[in-house]
Structure 1
């Protein structure tokens, strides 16, 4: 018995602390009997230090998330490999290459060179005459410039030469959800009072390689899976992954916490 339990006291629930910091929990005859607050002081001091560091980061405007640096004061994002839109319509890679489907601007300045279209997908430029009529200017076979009344079509480029090859059809849209393969037993069975370590899952997607996944336990989103093993119970882990096209894949795992007695 630790302390006088006839007096009303304020403290932590030892069973809950045991799941997080078992080193500070006191056991008597195989049962949890209390918490050694002297040992917990060091843990709390460390937590306060880390919280103080995080507060200083927020105050200075510098944030680090998964290796990327966010300068909130100067509004800069540093050390980012790629930026992808949620719709998949635009992206910027680490070399400064911007890929978009459409740009609307009052002024466009090109300092070195500009490329419009490709040999596989020849394109034209829509120009307007002083009366406001549009003309599609394109390059025919041999390099001669040609114009045709009307705006340039998105699917093909007009050309006076009938020998110009037709551009290839665009690839079909990605409608396949990522495939999530769960690692380890499913369902998994562990004993009451033990610690559950989730082996995770593997995500594969042909259109969006190297995508990650999120997890939730019994409907609660968690960065790291944690299972309450204090009593016999059944828990459900949900793995979710979304590719660049917005397709979502899911997989579930059941964890049974059983009393070996």
Structure 2
């Protein structure tokens, strides 16, 4: 269904929401009703603050708030396939909300993952937002990625030809990237000519960027010289006194240098030495002597 039709349905849903609220709350266990009233009040307040001709659907806001008990009631009243003005579906909102889920905790312990489980069988996981992103591209945790993968195409591209793996990198989500590695094309390029590794090296947060690059570097088979150049740039961007931050990139540089051209390896070594690193990379030193 096209977004214009969906927005019409969303508007009708919001008009009916006030009368539905009471029925939804009364259907809940007595001990949960007060919390549900507070949650719905938050939803209403948010909708009123941002109200325009294309307000977000109630179920979308509920998915974002990660309240599985309330959401399980709302799906009985509202169509979970509705999208907002940007083409976002409740499933996308739930997938994004899992970024608050602890990766080291069981999926069952996360309210946001529970919301995703509620919505998944009722939704189209391959629905696209206005920018071409699917729910998998919004996954905020490995739990979400593992739930969505069986019914999603990990190699799908958005309007900028970015894959789910690239979005995991740009969102600084190493656990999500790890869940996607086996089913993704690591060498795929966006419309900017950048791979997931290039994004990790060029835009990654310091700690997450290093972890992501360490995951991706051994699997990259093309554009190694370019990636090595980016890795050295990430290293030399650190303050001179921050040796630990600089040295954290050494394994990535070593891995890429071992497969880069001799010229690229020598150039990288020259920049490393210019920073007076405590220990010259053994791989780079070996390459420079060839």
Q: Could you tell me the TM-score, scaled by structure 1's length?
A: 0.24
Q: Which has the larger radius of gyration?
A: 1
